[in-house]
Amino acid sequence: MSSLKELCAGLPLNPLPENRGRAAGVPHAPRRTPGLSAEELRLALQNSLRYFPPVLHKELAQEFADELRLYGHVYMYRFCPQIQMRAYPIHEYPCKTKKAAAIMHMIMNNLDPAVAQFPQELVTYGGNGQVFSNWAQFWLVMNYLAEMTEDQTLVMYSGHPLGLFPSHHNAPRVVITNGMVIPNYSSREEYEKLFAMGVTMYGQMTAGSYCYIGPQGIVHGTVLTVLNAGRRYLGLDDLAGKVFVTSGLGGMSGAQAKAADIAGCVGIIAEVDKAALLKRHAQGWLMEITDSLDQCVARLREARKNKTVLSLGYHGNVVDLWERLVSEYEATGDLLVDLGSDQTSCHNPFSGGYYPVQLSFEEANQLLASNPEKFRELVQESLKRQVAAINTLSEKGLFFWDYGNAFLLEAKRAGAEVEKDGVGKTEFRYPSYVQHIMGEIFSLGFGPFRWVCTSGDPQDLSVTDLIAASELENIINQGVDEAVQQQYNDNIRWIREAGRHDLVVGSQARILYSDQKGRVCIAVAINRAVADGRLKAPVVISRDHHDVSGTDSPYRETSNIYDGSAFCADMAVQNFVGDAFRGATWVALHNGGGVGWGEVINGGFGLVLDGSEESEERARMMLGWDVSNGVARRCWSGNRNAHETIRRTMEENSGLRVTLPYQVEDELILRKALGHN
């Protein structure tokens, strides 16, 4: 076992580490099928050897060529570190600035096998959300971070560390771009080739930006989604005895089981990959598991009847589950499901994100490697079958929603019946959770704010939970708008109970939804607690990119932008740049994330609160921009809640002046001017 000091000493070349190949007993990413031409294969191999001196090329070339042939990508398995990968406490990393050590803490968390979906392929979540493209990049980055001073910035090109460049104390320590491809070449086919050649990378949202916090990252949002779906569709506050059926127990989707438990309903979650199912069960995120549909339906009926809270993982394909629920209905007249969704990795349906029902998991992986075209056909057929079953049940009273994984978009592309007449091109027969269920949260400035205690001490996390609850309560006591008060109340309840639900997987992290004022108050209070020693080490603040200003995604975060700009991405790009010069410790801008490559641009940040006055100043300035940017854009697009929110923020901050839109009050004026009488 090597030490963190060795891990930060640069690529181990002399001697080369033993080539152990892929480890058994660890889940591995499906084989990629980039379809490289002979010249592209040559380039891919040549590019991978760039990280090594020529004396090693003969030995490594054959090995890397084999990886390319066997797995469709050069991961450089030989260089998988032997040290246990996890978020070690900040003081254990060799460094010249604590900010760099905090970033190492976050990177190590993203690659922790308890956290990461395919740790040896450097995939944190979402099937293909890479932290780096290969292990050489990891070693180089750790070394750069250990050596960097506060007068340098590390530049990351899609996993590749271009190097340390002179900058200044106030600049970000790391600037990351992932998947920035000339727009006309940002297709899935091109992506597979570019990734295999090692020149671009899909970083999802928080994988390639080093701020993933395990499935807790969305458990809070998922709880609210299930509760709000119950309120909105079933008219119920209490979900006892109500059944929620969905799929996916992966990186993010694993949150669904815990959410069903916290929301007090019966959650049935299908998962084809046994390793993913067992992992969530072992982590206590899933109460029971079964691989029998009979058993699954029997437990569902029992829990529904007795109104017992249950999260049950069905090991099998979700299409089989939906079709069985249809047969149960046809045979008995019992509609056994009230709420439904899907969280397979449909943003990446043809490379292992969605498994077709016609084959077992193993057979599907073989077909994916041997005949990707056939695999694609089966996926599309399977999506059509899934939608047909959902349609049948929804006609009987099931409420189904899209969970931001491009399920409806891909189902439509497959030819499934998901279209709806008379709606805009970003809408379908079933609603998207963002605007229909979560409501106008982004326009009010609310979004998933998170923090990580780099001491790694659970006691520090408890202290921050108390700080956050008390800061939100103070804000309410000072008086807030009615629309905002409900959000605050829900989040105070959440944070008060969070510690009890055993949500931590990996680093000592917490998430809640807050608006600008809440985020700033919490950050400032945490920083002061670092300063006065109530917290043992710096705290990193960050957020999901799935936020007010972080993401331009016409089928999800910005699906309620109605001025024609839903397909524009100025907001996310401005956000990344604006965060960078307002004090972020690192910033990231990504193509893809959530709904997939080419479908979205998103960005995020990390900011280290080290207890200094300067950190407080940075947090105030950066968080203000990080929320107000998106609220202002949403206001300009015509959103009334956003208009009200930004107007209030301007009253509180004389430095903020936003261009406000005038509404056209008389529709007739438009019609007349255009000759549409």
Ligand X SMILES: NC(=O)c1ccc[n+]([C@@H]2O[C@H](COP(=O)([O-])OP(=O)(O)OC[C@H]3O[C@@H](n4cnc5c(N)ncnc54)[C@H](O)[C@@H]3O)[C@@H](O)[C@H]2O)c1
Of positions 34, 518, 594, 630, contacts ligand X by CB under 6 A: 594
**DSSP result, 608-667:** EE-S-HHHHHHHHHHHHHHHHHHHHHHHHTT-HHHHHHHHHHHHH-TT---PPPPP---H
Please, what's the b/e burial string for 164-196 (b: 16 or more CB within 10 A of its CB; e: otherwise)? beebeeebbbbbbbbbebeeeebeeebbbbbbb
Report the alpha-carbon distance of residue 364 to residue 358 in Å, rounded.
Answer: 8
Q: What are 195's two structure tokens? A: 């990734």
Residue type, 279: K
Nearest residue (CB) to ligand X, 152 versus 246: 246
Site membership for ligand X, residue 345 (CB under 6 A) = yes
Report the alpha-carbon distance of residue 133 to residue 157 in Å, rounded.
Answer: 11
Residues of this chain, 185-224, that bind ligand X according to CB under 6 A: 218, 221
| Binding residue count for ligand X, defined by CB under 6 A | 32
Of positions 276, 387, 409, 609, contacts ligand X by CB under 6 A: 276
Report the alpha-carbon distance of residue 299 to residue 285 in Å, rounded.
Answer: 18
- Nearest alpha carbon to residue 265 among 338, 369, 345: 338
Please, what's the b/e burial string for 252-279 (b: 16 or more CB within 10 A of its CB; e: otherwise)? bbbbbbbbbbbbbbbbbbbbbbebbbbb
Give min distance, CB of 270 to ligand X, in A: 4
Site membership for ligand X, residue 546 (CB under 6 A) = yes
Of positions 252, 521, 523, 561, contacts ligand X by CB under 6 A: 252
Nearest residue (CB) to ligand X, 347 versus 517: 347
Site membership for ligand X, residue 248 (CB under 6 A) = yes
Give min distance, CB of 609 to ligand X, in A: 25
Site membership for ligand X, residue 449 (CB under 6 A) = no
Nearest residue (CB) to ligand X, 161 versus 214: 214
Evaluate whether 600 touches 593 at the Cβ level (below 8 Å): yes
Evaluate whether 82 touches 101 at the Cβ level (below 8 Å): no
Measured distance between the N- and C-terminal CA atoms of the chain, rounded to whole angstroms: 78
Nearest residue (CB) to ligand X, 344 versus 558: 344
- Is the bond into 15 cis (omega within 30 degrees of 0)? yes
Q: What letter would DSSP give residue 238?
A: -
Of positions 48, 200, 209, 253, contacts ligand X by CB under 6 A: 253
Report the alpha-carbon distance of residue 615 to residue 163 in Å, rounded.
Answer: 26
Evaluate whether 396 touches 335 at the Cβ level (below 8 Å): yes
Report the alpha-carbon distance of residue 213 to residue 206 in Å, rounded.
Answer: 8
Nearest residue (CB) to ligand X, 592 versus 611: 592
Nearest residue (CB) to ligand X, 272 versus 337: 272
Site membership for ligand X, residue 597 (CB under 6 A) = no
Find the part of the chain contacting ligand X (CB under 6 A) among 90-98, 102-110, 121-129, 284-292.
121-129
Site membership for ligand X, residue 632 (CB under 6 A) = no
Residues of this chain, 393-432, that bind ligand X according to CB under 6 A: 403-405
Of positions 143, 177, 343, 435, contacts ligand X by CB under 6 A: 343
> Which residue's Cβ lies closest to ligand X?
250
Find the part of the chain contacting ligand X (CB under 6 A) among 46-54, 84-92, 189-197, 267-275.
267-275
Residues of this chain, 61-120, that bind ligand X according to CB under 6 A: 117
Alpha-carbon distances of 567 from 186, 301, 558, 559, 626, rounded to whole Å: 14, 44, 9, 9, 20
- Nearest alpha carbon to residue 217 among 207, 208, 227: 207
Residues of this chain, 508-527, that bind ligand X according to CB under 6 A: none
Give min distance, CB of 172 to ligand X, in A: 24
Of positions 251, 439, 550, 603, contacts ligand X by CB under 6 A: 251
Give min distance, CB of 281 to ligand X, in A: 13
Of positions 354, 449, 513, 636, contacts ligand X by CB under 6 A: 354
Give min distance, CB of 545 to ligand X, in A: 9
Site membership for ligand X, residue 172 (CB under 6 A) = no
**Interface ranges with ligand X (CB under 6 A):** 117, 125-127, 218, 221, 247-253, 270-273, 276, 317-318, 343-347, 354-355, 403-405, 546, 594
